[in-house]
A and B are shown apart, each in its own frame.
Chain A
Amino acid sequence: MKNRKFFPVILLLGLMLSSAVNATGPRVTPGMLVVPENEIFAVDAQPFVGTDLMNEGMNVEIVKAALTSVEINSTLTILPVAKMVKYYLLQEQVLAAHGQYINLSKKDKKSLIFVPISLTKENYFYYHPAHKSGFNWQGKLSDLSGYSYGSYQEEDVAPYKTAGIQIVPGRLHALLRKLISNEIDFIRMPVLTKNWMLDKHFPLEKENIIAITTEAEWVPQFVIFNKNHPDGEVLARKLAQGLAITIGSGQYATILKKYLVDDEVSERIKRLNDLIQP
């Protein structure tokens, strides 16, 4: 009965703290008033790119710093799903796109230039309470035959199918939920994404999401330039130049240090240098 007295206060507090959308209104984005300049379309992918992240995320900071160092202004448009970014890249022939799980065919790739901008550690993860003895991973996908894999919408799932793995497509948040409710057996994502998602959405499950493999795989992240755009090839070269400048000046490391521990910063820079060097 006592609690009832506080109910309106709790309700009001809940409303005040909520970031929920209450009524249909215009989404207020920079693009409403900005004339785009060297526009790059990116997929919302925390913590690398995101509308609600500090400076729109680590990868956005890297790209902006690199292009600024070669005196190029750019506009970043963040879109909610990979397929939208793919649409603009391939159908509207825009200058450039950024996003990891954009499924591109061999034919598509012929008209694109991939500029690596960073490396991320990725791993397969499972829910420990559902698989207490873990997985017998020996380094091949076929070791996971018979299990179900939560894939991203635009991910190339052919290797999993060939290995006899059942595919359950979905969005990252939904896949994590399915992993925890034992509807799927394993998923793949960058370690940084796993940490970010668990902190933000599933803090009580942090100890239960375990990597299948002991060693994470280093995966490059790219800005993809369009050769069919008149400025595509020039801007691709400019971004590569800009990256070299920011790495050389230490600015690249400064950006990474905001998001990563020091030993990971040097490892990533070394690996990116190896990728960029001919």
Chain B
Amino acid sequence: MRKQSTFCAAAILVMLAFNLHSIQAETIKFGANESPPYWSENDPHSGMCGEILHLLSQIVGIEANIVFEPLQRLINDKNNNDLGDPSFYIKNQDFAVIIPIALQHSSFHYYLPNQKSAIRIENWEGLKDYKVGILKGTFTQISYFNQLDIHFEESYSQISLLKKLKLGRIDMAIDLDLVINHNINQLFPEEKSNFQSIPIRNSTTPIAMMIATHHPGARQLGEKYRAALLKIIQDGSYQKILEKYYGKGNMPDNWFADLERFGRLYRFIQTE
């Protein structure tokens, strides 16, 4: 009898261990860079995109853990799963799955009280008379801007860009719309109407979930995530998440056409 109960206990332990292993196997870890309201460690839903990712993962039946790290560290890590704008990552790393799940748009932002009148920008030449702030490391094709005699002042954080705008140390900042609006709400809520923006027409870029090539069953998992994305778009729960952050009826134009376009591109460049 004692032998039997010892055997039963051992069997239960083995089953428990097996179940624990299964539970652990149903987890996927992603790296993201703190950039509220898109991704945020301090938000209970991990931000707008975190909310989308968690909903997708729930449908797929997997738990997504988001680890927040500095962007350059995420870019340098060539083996991890990433969340963010794929163009920052694909030069260094191959991914088996790249699924754009949202979009980001940028504008020229300025603080009206520091300007004589509202600013109009039609082309890059129009920036010559202004001191323009950007985030460090986001500036490409330097020769092009040098030839136009346009020079940018780089900052290490979005908060710093915003403070420089308010203090008049820069005239304009090129930044993500949702991020700067979030920061204005946090830092200068009473001054919202003083911060103006000029939309940049070709600034739409995707925010994607990227699964590394070595991740077990990555391709199959990717297909499940794609199906889940389609499902939440069709049943409207995707739109409900977006409206929480953009406001009802304020979703940017062409959202779904752009999401599909980026989806096609990044599906093509996934590594077999």
Would you list which residues of chain B between 247 and 272 have a CB under 8 Å from chain A? Answer: 264-265, 268-269, 271
State the CA gap A224–B110 with chains docked (Å): 42
Contact of A24 among B85, B94, B143 (CB under 8 A): B85
The 0/1 profile, CB within 8 Å of A marked 1, for residues 70-106 of chain B is: 1110010010000011011011101000000000101
The 0/1 profile, CB within 8 Å of B marked 1, for residues 169-191 of chain A is: 00101100000000000000000
Contact B176 A25 (CB under 8 A): yes
Contact A55 B143 (CB under 8 A): yes
Q: Would you call A223 an interface residue if the criterion is a C-beta within 8 Å of the partner chain's C-beta atoms?
A: no
State the CA gap A264–B112 with chains docked (Å): 56
Interface-facing stretch out of B4-12, B50-58, B150-158, B186-194: B150-158
Contact of B138 among A28, A31, A81 (CB under 8 A): A28
Contact B91 A44 (CB under 8 A): yes
Q: Would you call B208 an interface residue if the criterion is a C-beta within 8 Å of the partner chain's C-beta atoms?
A: no
> B34: which A residues are within 8 A, CB to CB?
23
Shortest Cβ distance from A44 into B: residue: B91
State the CA gap A200–B156 with chains docked (Å): 24
The 0/1 profile, CB within 8 Å of A marked 1, for residues 132-152 of chain B is: 001111111111110000001
Contact A84 B265 (CB under 8 A): yes
Interface-facing stretch out of B16-24, B163-171, B199-207, B230-238: B199-207
> A84: which B residues are within 8 A, CB to CB?
90, 265, 269
Contact of B137 among A19, A32, A91, A171 (CB under 8 A): A19
Among B122, B137, B140, B202, the one with the most A-chain Cβ atoms within 10 Å of its Cβ is B140
Instruction: Return 29 A-B CB contacts under 8 Å, by A number.
Output: A15-B156, A20-B72, A20-B137, A21-B135, A21-B136, A22-B156, A23-B71, A23-B156, A24-B71, A25-B158, A25-B176, A26-B106, A26-B135, A26-B203, A27-B138, A27-B205, A28-B134, A30-B144, A30-B145, A32-B203, A33-B122, A34-B123, A44-B91, A53-B143, A55-B143, A83-B268, A84-B90, A171-B94, A173-B92
Closest 5 CB pairs of A and B: A21-B137, A25-B135, A26-B106, A20-B72, A24-B35
Interface residues of A, Cβ cutoff 8 Å to B: 15, 19-34, 44, 51-56, 78, 80-81, 83-84, 86-87, 91, 153, 171, 173-174
Interface residues of B, Cβ cutoff 8 Å to A: 33-35, 38-39, 70-72, 75, 78, 84-85, 87-88, 90-92, 94, 104, 106, 121-124, 134-145, 152, 156-158, 174-176, 179, 200-203, 205, 264-265, 268-269, 271
